Amino acid sequence: MYYREEEPVRYANLMYDRRVVRGNTYALHALPWTAQPDPLEIQRQREAHRKALARKRAKEQLHSRTPEPVEGRKHVDVQTELYLEELGDRIIEVDVECQTDAFLDRPPTPLFIPAKTGRDVATQIEEGELFDFDIEVKPMLEVLIGKIIEQALLEVMEEEELANLRAHQYAYEELRNAELAEVQRLEEQERRHREEKERRKNQQSQLLQKHKETSEKIAARAFAQRYLADLIPSVFSSLRESGYFYDPVERGLYYFFSLQEACNLTRAVKRLKKLIAINRAIKNINSD
Note the helical H segments in 24-90: 39-62
8-state DSSP, 263 = H
Note the helical H segments in the chain: 39-62, 133-242, 248-287
8-state DSSP, 5 = P
Ramachandran bin of 173, using left for φ above 0, alpha for ψ from -120 to 50, beta for the remaining angles: alpha
Q: pLDDT at position 126, please? A: 77
Q: pLDDT at position 151, please? A: 94
d(CA 81, CA 89): 19
d(CA 19, CA 9): 19
**Torsional sign, CA 141, 142, 147, 152:** positive
Determine the length of the chain. 288
Q: 75 near 66, Cβ under 8 Å? A: yes
Q: pLDDT at position 188, please? A: 94
d(CA 205, CA 197): 12
> Which stretches in the chain have pLDDT values below 70?
1-11, 23-38, 62-65, 79, 83-85, 87, 128, 243, 245-257, 288
8-state DSSP, 127 = T
Q: pLDDT at position 30, please? A: 54
8-state DSSP, 27 = T
8-state DSSP, 4 = P
Which whole-number Å values give the CA distances from 25 to 32, 108, 258, 272, in the listed order? 16, 82, 140, 149
Dihedral of CA atoms 249, 254, 255, 257 in degrees, nearest 10, equals 120
Q: pLDDT at position 1, please? A: 47
d(CA 242, CA 236): 10
Q: 239 near 245, Cβ under 8 Å? A: yes
Convert the pLDDT of each residue in 82-103 to its tens digit.
Answer: 766 676 777 788 888 887 777 7
